[in-house]
Structure 1
Amino acid sequence: MSERKLRVLSIAHTAVSRSAGRLRYHPFKSYADLDVHLVVPQRFRQFGRTLEADPGDDEGITVHVLPIILDSAGPMTWYLHIYPGLSKLISALKPDVIHLWEEPWSAVASQACLLKKHAALVLEVDQNILKRLPPPFEFMRRKVLQHCDHILSRSSDATAVIRANGYTGPVSPIGYGVDQETFHPVEASEPRIVGAPLALGYVGRLVEEKGIQDALDAMVRMGHPAMLHIIGEGPYEPAIRSQIDRLGLGERVSIRGWDKPAAVADFMRGLDALLLLTHTTPAVKEQFGRVIIEAQNCGTPVIGADSGAIPDVVGEGGWIIPQHDPAALAELVDRLAEDRAEIDTKRKLAMENVQARFTYGAIAEQLATAWKAAYIARDIKRGAI
């Protein structure tokens, strides 16, 4: 590779917010060998909300806030959007690498593939269930994968999906990062009360496949009564409340709606363990579980089900139990109630897990390594080096 900076154009609808998806790009201000440009939508609709892009004056990268069309249409939701101004931008920048934080069957991935010219193409994938897509998305996915030079994969299941769809090139793992300014441990203002019930928690959508019903069933089996605190909203909330009433758990379970990230971090710090008991279904398999690393960086270990990426993300910073198994959860919680030193050990391992794998610095390094490898491989193919 020459002495000039490697110019990378990254396209990511998830980076509209400076306080969320854009955070992982900020470490590039210390990379003297990279010239990173980021394309985000001017306005984006997702999960019923309209998001306006934050200004593009981030330090260390150049942010291009561009209008999009087809931001939400039909069952494919936001995967149909494209950037009318992308061709002009690519012609002006002449990037060495184009990176998409988008699935290969998205319209913007096909758009970038058509416009990339001699740039290496890097994709970042999450989809971890192999399913046949309706026309023309199956064709779009295979075409994009044929022209891709490197894949960044969120899990081994996601890697299996792209392999099954014909991709034969190099794959590197990539995680999500933690906002360490928000999610971090603090010194307890007062020690935990000896003999107090364990505090378990859940943060996320209230939907059936998240397995909250298993936690409630486990609570009536426990020999050491625990408390369960829930933050979230969703269509399964009435069923959860009905189950709480039916099992007589009204004094041991609390539910409150979504809150600001700082309040969620405070909530997590007050728990002995966070729960993520996702059920794998034909349509759902946990792709990552960002709440796992947020809780772990607060010093809270995680009890997770063996669904999708959960065991790998939890690592040594928690415990894994079978799906659909309230008895196993009850047995584990009773054991922890009798040996709280095990929780303290897992707290330390949880924080070490994040520091080793899921800081924004670690994610930036994973991105940079893949970009450089793709560029070198593309130049070798072209006979340029």
Structure 2
Amino acid sequence: MKFIWRLIPVSFILLITGCGVENLSALDPKGPVAEMQYSLIQLSLYIMIAVLVVVFAIYIFVLFKFRDKPGDTHIPKQVHGNRTLEIIWTTIPIILLLMLAVPNVMDTFTLADVGVGEEAEESGEADAEDAERDHVRIEVTANQFWWEFNYPDYDATAGQEMYIPTDTRIIVELQSSDVIHSFWVPALAGKQDNIPGVQNDMWFEAPEEGVYQGKCTELCGPSHWLMDFRVIAVDPETFDTWATNMSEPAEELLEPESEVAVDGRAVFEESCITCHAVGQDGGNIGPNLTNYSEREVLAGFLDPTDENLEAWIRNPQEYKPGNEMPSFDSLTDDEVTALIEYMNTLKVLEN
């Protein structure tokens, strides 16, 4: 009976290993950087398994070979100071460490090479191979508790969702506006810290279209666990359309069609535009909302229903404690309804 009770926690651990979010595992790589890091994980695992097998084999051999036997009083041959054995068990760990170190160092240099730097591009010092390399540069700023993605070459800014073209090197420049955060998209690349006053660079690629989940992996405040984002890989043509439309003036791209939505835009301009941008208009204290209606997640983790949006507008602290968005419980029901209808018109891609 006691044995069965001991199996319960083990069974529970095995059960929860199957739970998780799609594309949120480093063990299911979807790009060259993730595959490179996964191969290092495999190499380390194989070496550790081999060492484990050898150690247990030696242990079992010694356990039976030199076990205490009735009537056996002789002292086994001592190996202390045996030069041959000393050389063997010193050399083997060195070889194992080299087997781990060499590919790790080589991959570290590969991952550190983010591509053509701005100074090299301006001075013309980049070699032909680097000059022809297709890449998109994205400035990623972490905030409590949301993500901003700026595309300097396209004059576009997005919030919570990073759009990228497939089969293109994505050069990511990581920064933080407040405390230390950590950028992690496990299906595409390993994590890298966002540090205030320091820029860290990394790169990755997404060969296939899809949605890749990302998280902050550095404890950054009370809502750290809700600081999720999404990397959306689309074909290059769709990406160009998205980036171009994200940089358009709001009045040219996002003209409300209904009277209620027009009233909602007025509410937005009175209450929201100081912090949230639409098109090129507005602030950057909160996420850019130019393509709000195309998002599948509200505030990083909520279903984007009208009910959730109204609840978020009324009292965001209830859902994400510590975030900087104030409550708008002073808005009337009609104003909130109009604001929601306006926000549901915000999009940059055709359905």
- Give your verdict on TM over 0.5: no
**Larger Rg: 1 or 2?**
2
TM-score, with structure 2 as normaliser: 0.24
TM-score, with structure 1 as normaliser: 0.22
